[in-house]
Amino acid sequence: MCTIFAYKNKDRESYSFFSEPYYSEKRLVLVTLKNSEIVNKARTLEDVLKIEDFKIQLKIGYSYGAFADHLVKKYKNYSNTTDRVADEKKIYLTSDDITGMLFNIVRKKADYMLINASEFEYFYKLEKEFKQNLQFKLFPDVPEGEKRYFMCSYKVGDDFMKKINKVIKLLQK
Question: pLDDT, tens digit, for every residue of 143-173?
Answer: 998 899 999 999 999 999 999 999 999 998 8
Rounded distance, CA 2 to CA 119, Å? 23
Residues of CATH 3.40.190.10 domain(s) within the chain?
26-137
Rounded to two decimals, the pTM is: 0.81
How confident is the model over 93-119, as a mean pLDDT? 97
Tallying the residues shown for the chain, one arrives at: 173
Contacts of 2 (CB under 8 A, 6+ apart): 150, 151, 152, 153, 156, 164
| pLDDT value for 140 | 96
Question: pLDDT, tens digit, for every residue of 22-53?
Answer: 999 899 999 999 999 999 999 999 999 999 88
Rounded distance, CA 166 to CA 27, Å? 27
Contacts of 32 (CB under 8 A, 6+ apart): 38, 39, 105, 111, 112, 113, 134, 135, 136, 137
**Residue 120 CB neighbour total at 10 angstroms:** 22
Q: What is the DSSP letter of 115?
A: E
pLDDT at 4 over 80: yes
Is residue 132 within 8 A of residue 56, CB to CB? The reply is no
Backbone angles phi, psi at 136, to 5 degrees: -130, 160
CATH 3.40.190.10 fits 26-137, yes or no: yes
Tell me the percentage of the chain whose pLDDT exceeds 90. 80
pLDDT at 99 over 80: yes
Three-state DSSP class for 60? coil
| pLDDT value for 170 | 94
